[in-house]
């Protein structure tokens, strides 16, 4: 595993591999790695010849400066974890390397960005698009791996690839959960013990809601989820939506065609957690 902090040194290595006809797989991350990230890296290892992982806490995608300041940074542990799987190159640039001049590009994702995360975190997806397009330009991967936990992000990135007509293939990877069901997230590291204890209620509630959906109305299922979450005063739901998996719009009836996904954002104290489940 080699560590690069500059674009030019990373590109020299990748160019040599590409000249040998090797397929480059890319896993962009913001560090604070966990088993979920490792599963993306492992998946990259099975379908690509060279695995590149980037670790870059992208300031442009934080709409809250406290959230950016508190975002966990655990570089040493991250490198240790990456050494347990097949990772060829780690790209660890600083902000000036990625943004030598401020990135003022404005992307538009239409209806995909006006709901859920896009609604509650204004500017977030524009920042994600800025960094992901920049990283794609630098790495020029054949395949890039993203987790389904960030379900809306995945849809936005697929749309970005279409808009920019990039050749990269986006690979969606399943959510990895703690034994108690909590979706793995870098932010879990920030949960105080009492919040960590109640956080699995989020997934349990999604599972119950899915069972209920066989016999209950859409409204009742939504009400059930919000009521369940508010049963502990340690959790506050920001939204719960059941959406169509391609256009991300709230469904109006169970009879609508297509795959339906229950998406939730919950505050556990100051820490915001998201999760989703296919219904």
What is the rounded distance in angstroms from the CA atom of residue 245 to the CA atom of residue 22? Answer: 33
> Closer CB to ligand PAF, residue 169 or residue 256?
169
Please state, in angstroms and rounded to a whole number, the distance separating the CA atoms of residues 14 and 138. 10
**Residue of the chain from 67, 77, 103, 150 that contacts ligand PAF (CB under 6 A):** 150
Among 29, 48, 130, 185, binds ligand PAF (CB under 6 A): 29
Q: Are 144 and 269 in contact (CB under 8 A)?
A: no
* Helix (H), strand (E) at residue 260: strand 260-268
Encode 5-41: b = buried (16+ Cβ within 10 Å), e = exposed. eebeebbebbeebbeeeeebbbbbbbbbbbebbbbbb
**Measured between alpha carbons, how far is 116 from 98 in angstroms, rounded to an integer?**
28
Contact with ligand PAF (CB under 6 A) among 53, 128, 242, 265: 128
Which of 165, 118, 172 is CA-nearest to residue 143? 172
Is 131 an interacting residue with respect to ligand PAF (CB under 6 A)?
yes
Query: Would you say 58 or 213 has its CB closer to ligand PAF?
Result: 58
Give the interface segment with ligand PAF, choosing from 45-53, 71-79, 126-134, 209-217 (CB under 6 A). Answer: 126-134
- Dmax (CA) for the chain in angstroms is 58
Tell me the C-alpha distance between 30 and 68, whole Å: 11
Q: C-beta of 159: minimal distance to ligand PAF in Å?
A: 14
- Should residue 143 be labelled a site residue for ligand PAF when binding is judged by CB under 6 A? no
Backbone angles phi, psi at 92, to 5 degrees: -130, 75
Query: Measured between alpha carbons, how far is 81 from 35 in angstroms, rounded to an integer?
Result: 9
Nearer to ligand PAF, 151 or 279 (CB): 151
Could you tell me if 32 and 56 are in contact, meaning their C-beta atoms sit under 8 angstroms apart? no
> Binder to ligand PAF among 4, 26, 28, 240 (CB under 6 A)?
28
The full DSSP string for 104-135 is ------GGGGSSHHHHHSTTHHHHHHHHHHHH
Segment 30 to 59, residues that bind ligand PAF, using CB under 6 A: 30, 58
Question: For ligand PAF, which stretch binds (CB under 6 A), given 28-36, 68-76, 225-233, 254-262?
Answer: 28-36
**Residue 156 or residue 209: which is nearer to ligand PAF going by CB?**
156
Residues 60-79 that bind ligand PAF (CB under 6 A): 61
> Looking at 34, 37, 121, 272, which residue is catalytic?
37
132 contacts ligand PAF (rule: CB under 6 A): yes
- Residue 124 annotated in active site: no
Q: Total binding residues for ligand PAF by CB under 6 A?
A: 10
Site residues for ligand PAF, 76-105, by CB under 6 A, read none
Catalytic residue positions?
A: 37
Positions that interact with ligand PAF (CB under 6 A): 28-30, 58, 61, 128, 131-132, 150, 153
């Amino acid at each position: 595993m080699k560590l690069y902090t500059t674009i030019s040194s990373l590109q020299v290595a990748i160019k040599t591999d590409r000249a040998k006809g090797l397929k480059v797989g890319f896993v962009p991350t913001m560090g604070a790695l966990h088993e979920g990230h490792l599963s993306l890296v492992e998946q990259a290892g099975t379908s690509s010849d060279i695995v590149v992982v980037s670790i870059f806490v992208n300031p442009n995608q934080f709409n809250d400066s406290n959230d950016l300041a508190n975002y966990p940074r655990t570089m040493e542990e991250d490198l240790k974890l990456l050494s347990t799987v097949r990772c060829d190159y780690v790209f660890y640039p600083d902000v000036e390397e990625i943004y030598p001049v401020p990135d003022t590009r404005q992307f538009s994702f239409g209806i995909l960005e006006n709901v859920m995360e896009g609604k509650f975190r204004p500017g977030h997806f524009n920042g994600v698009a800025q960094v992901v397009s920049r990283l794609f330009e630098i790495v020029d991967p054949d395949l890039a791996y993203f987790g389904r936990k960030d379900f809306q992000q995945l849809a936005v990135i697929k749309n970005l690839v279409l808009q920019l007509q990039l050749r990269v293939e986006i690979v969606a990877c399943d959510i990895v959960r703690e034994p108690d069901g909590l979706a793995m997230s870098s932010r879990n590291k920030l949960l105080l013990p009492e919040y960590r204890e109640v956080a699995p209620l989020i997934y349990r509630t999604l599972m119950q809601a899915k069972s209920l959906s066989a016999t209950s109305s859409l409204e009742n299922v939504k009400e059930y989820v919000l009521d369940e979450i508010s049963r502990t005063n340690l959790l506050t739901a920001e939204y719960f939506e059941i959406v169509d998996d391609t256009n991300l719009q709230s469904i109006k009836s169970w009879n609508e065609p297509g795959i339906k996904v229950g998406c939730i954002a919950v505050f556990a104290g100051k820490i915001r957690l998201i999760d989703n489940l296919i219904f």
